[in-house]
C-alpha cells in the first residue's frame, strides 16, 4: 500500500469511440440470417469495426459474399480456418457466443449504422492528429499546410459520403428537386443562369460541378462579361457568388459593378463628374448591390491551394452557387517552371473544386496569338496560354 502511494499517478488516455455490443450484434445478425448481409455491405466496411477479431470476421463474411457463398456459422468458421485466423478471432467458442447475442436480424441495419458512426468519429480523431502534426511541422508554404489540413478533414466527410449505385428513378427524383419545370422556368432551369437570354438558351445555364472556361484575346471584354454574369446571379437571382479577382483590385470591381448596375458612364464615375440624376442612380444601385450575396477576394498571385482553401471556407459559411476566377493564368500552381503543366494542374484542381462544392466554376483565360495566325480564327484548347 505504501509503495502504491509513492508511485506517480498514471494518466490513461480514453479509448477511441467504439461500441462492442453493436459490432457483436451485427455479426450475430449475419450469422443468424446470411441474407441480412445485403442490408449492411452498402455502407459498412471491415475497417469500420474497432475490435480486430470482429473486423476479420466481417471481412471473412464479405469474402464469402463476393464468392456467392452463404455467410452462415459453418461457412464463416471454415473461411476463417482456411485463412489461418479462426483461433485469433476467438475460435468456435466466440462465434458461438455472438450467435446468441441477438434473437433476430431485424435490426441489423441499425446496429450497422452505430458501428459506422463510431468508425467515423475515430477517423475524425485521426484527422485531428494529422492536422496537429501539420501544425507542428515546418511547412515552407502556410497555404499548402492549410490545404493539407482541410483535405485531412474533408477526407473524413468524403469517406462518409462515398456514393453507391442508385436506381435511375432515385437519380431522376434528385434531379427534379434541383430544377424548375414549366413555362415560367426559363432557359436556365437546370443550371445557374447567366442573365443573358440567348446564352442561357444555348447552355441551359451553368451546370453545377462544371468547369467553364471563358477565353478570348486580351481586352475583348472577358472581365466585363464575367462581372455581368456575377451581377445578374447576385442581384437578379439572389445566388451566392464568389469572385477571385487576381488581375483587378476590389476597388476597380466596385467601380465596374456600380457603373454597370446604374448605367452611369464609368469615366464619369472615375472622374467624379456626376449629375444629380447620376448620384440618385448610383445610390439606388449601391443599395441593390449591397444586398446581393457577392463575395470578392482580390489577393494578387494567389496559389491554387490557397484559392481552394478560401473557397471551401466561404462555402462552409455561405453555401455557394457559383465561383468566378479572373483569370486562369494568374493562379499559381506547384510547378511554376513549366507553364503548360501548371495550367493543366490548375485546371484539374478547379474541376475538382467544382465537383467538391457542387457549383459551376467560371474561369477566365487568355488566348495565345496563334489563334490570329490561322484562318478561320476559331480557338482551340491549345490556344489557352
- Cell numbers at 264, concatenated: 452611369
The distance of Cα 285 from the centroid of its chain, to the nearest Å, equals 34
Rounded to 5°, angle at Cα 294 from 202 and 191: 25
Tell me if 253 sits within 8 A of 296, measured CB to CB.
yes
Residue 269 burial (CB count, 10 A): 18
Contact 333, 304 (CB under 8 A): yes
Which of 379, 330, 374, 375 lies closest to 350 in space, CA to CA? 330
In the residue annotation, 247 being an active-site residue is answered as yes
Catalytic residue (one of 116, 144, 150, 247): 247
Separation between Cα atoms, residue 40 and residue 53, nearest integer Å: 18
CB 98 within 8 A of CB 30: no
Separation CA 293–CA 289 (nearest Å): 8
Q: How many CB atoms lie within 10 A of CB 174?
A: 10
Pairing of strands 322-326, 211-216: unpaired
Which three cell numbers, joined as nine digits, stand for 312? 471551401
Rounded CA separation 245/380 (Å): 25
Burial class (CB in 10 A: 0-12, 13-18, 19+), 374: exposed
- Contacts (Cβ under 8 Å, ≥6 apart) of 279: none
Q: Enumerate residues 6+ apart whose C-beta is below 8 A from 184.
A: none
Distance CA 331, CA 358 (A): 21
Cα separations (Å) of 280 from 34, 129, 134, 267, 274? 75, 56, 53, 17, 10
Most distant CA pair in the chain: distance in Å?
A: 97
Catalytic residues: 247
Amino acid at each position: 500500500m505504501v509503495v502504491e502511494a509513492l508511485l506517480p499517478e498514471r494518466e490513461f488516455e480514453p479509448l477511441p469511440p467504439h461500441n462492442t455490443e453493436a459490432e457483436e450484434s451485427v455479426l450475430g445478425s449475419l450469422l443468424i440470417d446470411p441474407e441480412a448481409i445485403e442490408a449492411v455491405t452498402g455502407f459498412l466496411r471491415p475497417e469500420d469495426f474497432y475490435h480486430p477479431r470482429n473486423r476479420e470476421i466481417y471481412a471473412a463474411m464479405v469474402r464469402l459474399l463476393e464468392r456467392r457463398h452463404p455467410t452462415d456459422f459453418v461457412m464463416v468458421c471454415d473461411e476463417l480456418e482456411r485463412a489461418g485466423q479462426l483461433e485469433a478471432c476467438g475460435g468456435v467458442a466466440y462465434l458461438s457466443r455472438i450467435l446468441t447475442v441477438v434473437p433476430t436480424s431485424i435490426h441489423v441495419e441499425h446496429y450497422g449504422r452505430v458501428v459506422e458512426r463510431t468508425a467515423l468519429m475515430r477517423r475524425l480523431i485521426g484527422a485531428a492528429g494529422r492536422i496537429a502534426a501539420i501544425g507542428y511541422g515546418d511547412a515552407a508554404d502556410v497555404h499548402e499546410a492549410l490545404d493539407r489540413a482541410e483535405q485531412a478533414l474533408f477526407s473524413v466527410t468524403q469517406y462518409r459520403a462515398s456514393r453507391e449505385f442508385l436506381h435511375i428513378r432515385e437519380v431522376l427524383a434528385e434531379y427534379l428537386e434541383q430544377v424548375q419545370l414549366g413555362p415560367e422556368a426559363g432557359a436556365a432551369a437546370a443550371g445557374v443562369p447567366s442573365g443573358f437570354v440567348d446564352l442561357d438558351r444555348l447552355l441551359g445555364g451553368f451546370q453545377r460541378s462544371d468547369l467553364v472556361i471563358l477565353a478570348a484575346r486580351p481586352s475583348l471584354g472577358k472581365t466585363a462579361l464575367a462581372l455581368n454574369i456575377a451581377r445578374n446571379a447576385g442581384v437578379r437571382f439572389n445566388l451566392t457568388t464568389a469572385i477571385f479577382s487576381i488581375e483587378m483590385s476590389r476597388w476597380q470591381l466596385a467601380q465596374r459593378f456600380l457603373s454597370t448596375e446604374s448605367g452611369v458612364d464609368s469615366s464619369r464615375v472615375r472622374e467624379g463628374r456626376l449629375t444629380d440624376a447620376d448620384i440618385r442612380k448610383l445610390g439606388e444601385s449601391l443599395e441593390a448591390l449591397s444586398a446581393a450575396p457577392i463575395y470578392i477576394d482580390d489577393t494578387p498571385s494567389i496559389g491554387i491551394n490557397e484559392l481552394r482553401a478560401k473557397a471551401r471556407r466561404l462555402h462552409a459559411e455561405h453555401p455557394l452557387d457559383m465561383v468566378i476566377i479572373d483569370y486562369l493564368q494568374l493562379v499559381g500552381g506547384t510547378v511554376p517552371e513549366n507553364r503548360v503543366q501548371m495550367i493543366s494542374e490548375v485546371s484539374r484542381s478547379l474541376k475538382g473544386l467544382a465537383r467538391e462544392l457542387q457549383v459551376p466554376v467560371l474561369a477566365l483565360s487568355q488566348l495565345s496569338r496563334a489563334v490570329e495566325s490561322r484562318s478561320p480564327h476559331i480557338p482551340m484548347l491549345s490556344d489557352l496560354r
